[in-house]
């Protein structure tokens, strides 16, 4: 009887252990508006938890949800990958938790949007926005008329600097 009871407890403990799950609920943020449709149609979200891997597609609003995810450490990423954003994240899911996550994604340079538009994305104004200059800059307007950003250019660099909000965009 005692042995049977112990076995029962072990079985109960085991099944209870593997049934500990939570929900991962998230949203992919299209950092470049022009990417929205591409992301909606092509992006898969994948999670890896323990030894298992799951994937799902996005809904109309780029939301996704994984149900019955085993508790513990997990990793989450998107495919196809983007060279413009670091899209690999990790977390730790607790029992019955709804883990909320946002994954910002860009498939083109986020600064291309501002190339011909010096409106600051924070204050929505242009009056304290100055251009960013790259390379060796000659003259004495640095900091006042323009911001000097050094010599190294990538294929995705900011164009403007807002003195009010101290951001590059
Ligand atoms: Zn601003």
Q: Tell me the CA–centroid distance for residue 163 and ligand 1, in Å.
A: 7
Which residues have CB less than 5 Å away from ligand 1 (the ion)? 120, 122-123, 162, 164-165
Q: Tell me the CA–centroid distance for residue 127 and ligand 1, in Å.
A: 9
Q: Which of 66, 83, 105 is the last residue of a domain?
A: 105
Say yes or no: 41 and 92 in one domain.
yes
Per-residue pLDDT of the chain (169 residues; tens, 9 = 90+): 555 555 555 545 555 555 799 999 999 999 898 899 999 999 999 999 988 899 999 999 999 999 999 999 999 999 998 878 766 889 999 999 999 999 999 988 989 989 999 999 999 999 999 999 988 777 777 778 999 888 888 889 999 999 999 999 9
Q: Which two tokens stand for residue 107?
A: 């498939």
DSSP assignment of 22-86, as one string? Answer: EEEEEEEEESSGGGHHHHHHH-EEEEEETTEEEEEE--TTSEEEEEEEESEEEEEEEES--SSS-
Q: Which of 57, 89, 105 is the last residue of a domain?
A: 105
Kind plus residue range of the DSSP H or E element containing 10: helix 2-18
Structural domain of 48:
2-105
Say yes or no: 124 and 99 in one domain.
no
Q: Tell me the CA–centroid distance for residue 122 and ligand 1, in Å.
A: 5
Say yes or no: 114 and 84 in one domain.
no
Say yes or no: 119 and 167 in one domain.
yes
Say yes or no: 150 and 123 in one domain.
yes
Determine contact, residues 96/22, Cβ cutoff 8 Å.
yes
The pTM for the full model equals 0.69
Say yes or no: 114 and 101 in one domain.
no
Pairing assessment for the beta strands 72-79 and 98-105 based on DSSP bridges: unpaired
Q: Tell me the CA–centroid distance for residue 123 and ligand 1, in Å.
A: 4
Q: Tell me the CA–centroid distance for residue 111 and ligand 1, in Å.
A: 15
Say yes or no: 71 and 100 in one domain.
yes
Domain harbouring 73, CATH code: 2.60.40.10
How many domains, the chain? 2
Report which of 28, 18, 19, 24 is spatially closest to residue 98, judged by C-alpha positions.
24
Say yes or no: 100 and 34 in one domain.
yes
Say yes or no: 114 and 98 in one domain.
no
Say yes or no: 12 and 92 in one domain.
yes
Return the pLDDT at 14.
52
């Amino acid at each position: 009887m005692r042995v049977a009871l112990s076995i029962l407890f072990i079985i109960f403990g085991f099944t209870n252990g593997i049934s500990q799950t939570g929900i991962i609920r998230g949203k992919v943020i299209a950092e470049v508006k022009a990417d929205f449709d591409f992301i909606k149609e092509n992006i898969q979200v994948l999670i890896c938890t323990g030894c298992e891997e799951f994937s799902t597609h996005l809904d109309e609003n780029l939301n996704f949800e994984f149900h019955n995810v085993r508790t513990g450490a997990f990793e989450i990423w998107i495919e196809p990958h983007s060279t413009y954003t670091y899209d690999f994240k990790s977390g730790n899911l607790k029992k019955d938790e709804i883990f909320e996550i946002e994954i910002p994604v860009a498939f083109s340079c986020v600064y291309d949007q501002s190339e011909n538009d010096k409106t600051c994305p924070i204050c929505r104004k242009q009056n304290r926005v100055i251009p960013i200059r790259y390379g060796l800059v000659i003259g004495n307007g640095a900091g006042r008329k323009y911001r000097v950003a050094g010599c190294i250019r990538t294929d995705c660099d900011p164009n403007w600097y807002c003195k009010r909000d101290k951001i590059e965009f």
